Amino acid sequence: RADSALFAAKAAGRGRIHFFDTQMQGRAEERLDIETRLRRAIGERRLHLALQPQVDSAGAITGAEALIRISGDEPDWMSAASFIPVAEDCGLIVDIGQFVIAEAGRILADWARTPDSRDHRLSINASVSHFQTTDFVDRITEMLNHHALPGGRLRIELTEAVFALQGDTVKRTMQRLRELGVGISLDDFGTGYSSLAYLREFPIDEIKIDQSFVRSMLDANVIDRRLIEVIIDIGKTLQVDVIAEGVETQAHWDRLKAMGCRYFQGYFFGRPMLYRPDTPMSSER
Ligand code: C2E
Ligand code: MG
Ligand code: MG
Ligand code: MG
């Protein structure tokens, strides 16, 4: 949007500079508004996790991804995509992250009590800025100990932006997580700082094919299809799990399976559903 506003300003000449300023100011106000509402929501304990199922090639549930939601506000403000970037800028992401870790513990403890879900794995998203705080691993450790949970039940999703940080620190944090048995998943894979060397050098357990590739996979877009195949091959070579996100149709699923993908997540199997204890996670398909 920033690009198109700039383009409009340029195309129309000086007369439109004012229009551009107004737009920028509008965005700043919008961010401040989001920040205010976010602070209020945190204060009023209106953060929740929604769970979206992850399945294997047979369609059996293997676990879920936890996605943050806010209740009691306008529905159009519910998308994490709209407030996570603001939370990252204003530092609230650390509070959100602590909430997510604590809540993940509750969910995993609930799951552990039910035979059907005992082996399920929960993936949580961690912002790079939270991941690099010194007590990130301590919080995870405390949470696992508190509920007497094996680390293998938990996976941390990080974007490739993590590789822009100081490599040694990132590697040490990942290694400490691995010692706990906690998995590392690379989210939105293929859209960021991809490097084959990182995949080899860092203890990564899973890569998530970004949903943008899946979305265009069945178009005439041969390139995106090939890219998916390449990502699946990389996963096989490096022996990391590969999961496709944004699987919305049977055709997506069939095609991805034919390409050798083994794990799947998307609206076809289930939308993110607010977590309530005692309600078993079910596929909506
Ligand atoms: P993500 O981790 O890549 O999550 C996938 C996003 O795609 C989610 O949006 C999910 O609702 C949506 N999605 C799932 N299946 C489909 C599908 O089949 N089709 C389409 N079109 N979309 C699908 P959401 O919940 O709005 O989250 C957006 C992003 O916000 C996430 O992307 C993640 O980067 C971030 N996020 C969400 N929860 C958290 C959190 O607890 N902590 C942090 N740090 N970031 C979070
Ligand atoms: Mg994710
Ligand atoms: Mg993703
Ligand atoms: Mg994302």
Q: What is the pLDDT of residues 18-64, one digit of tens each?
A: 555 667 777 888 899 999 999 999 999 999 999 999 999 999 999 99
Provide the 3-class DSSP secondary structure of residue 264: strand
| Distance between Cα 174 and ligand 1 center (Å) | 22
CA angle 7, 8, 12 (to 5 degrees): 115
Task: Give the containing element (helix H, strand E) for 265.
Answer: strand 263-265
Length of the chain: 285
| Ligand 1 touching residue 84 (CB < 6 A) | yes
CA of 157 to the centre of ligand 3 (A): 8
Do 155 and 117 form a contact (C-beta atoms < 8 A)?
no
- Ligand 1: atom nearest CA of 130 is 44
Distance CA 149, CA 166 (A): 30
Relative to beta strand 47-56, strand 263-265 is antiparallel
Cα separation, 181 vs 152, in Å, equals: 5
Query: Tell me: the pLDDT tens digits for 231-279?
Result: 999 999 999 999 999 999 999 999 999 999 999 999 999 999 999 765 5
Q: Could you give the angle at which helices 80-90 and 92-112 cross, rounded to 10 degrees?
A: 130
- What is the DSSP secondary-structure string of 66-85? EEEEE-SS-GGG--HHHHHH
What is the structure's pLDDT at 18?
56
Give CA separation, 174 vs 124, 148, 170, 195, in Å: 15, 21, 6, 17
Q: Measured in angstroms, how far is the CA atom of residue 148 from the centroid of ligand 4?
A: 30
Return the pLDDT at 276.
Answer: 79
Average pLDDT over residues 3-21: 49
Alpha carbon separation from 85 to 30, 145, 246 (Å, rounded) = 12, 31, 20
| C-beta of 188 in contact with ligand 1 (< 6 A) | yes
- Residue 129 in tokens: 């800025």
Regarding the beta carbon of 267 and ligand 1, being less than 6 Å apart is answered yes
Cβ(2)–Cβ(8) under 8 Å?
no
Cβ proximity of 180 and 155 under 8 Å: no
- Contacts of 280 by beta carbon, 8 Å cutoff, 6+ apart: 114, 116, 117
pLDDT band, residue 280 (cuts 50/70/90): low
Asked if residue 82 has its Cβ within 6 Å of ligand 1, the reply is no
Determine the distance separating the centroid of ligand 4 and the alpha carbon of 282, expressed in angstroms.
23
What DSSP string runs through 154-169? EEEEEEGGGGGS-HHH
Q: Can you point out the beta strands (E) in 101-153?
A: 121-125
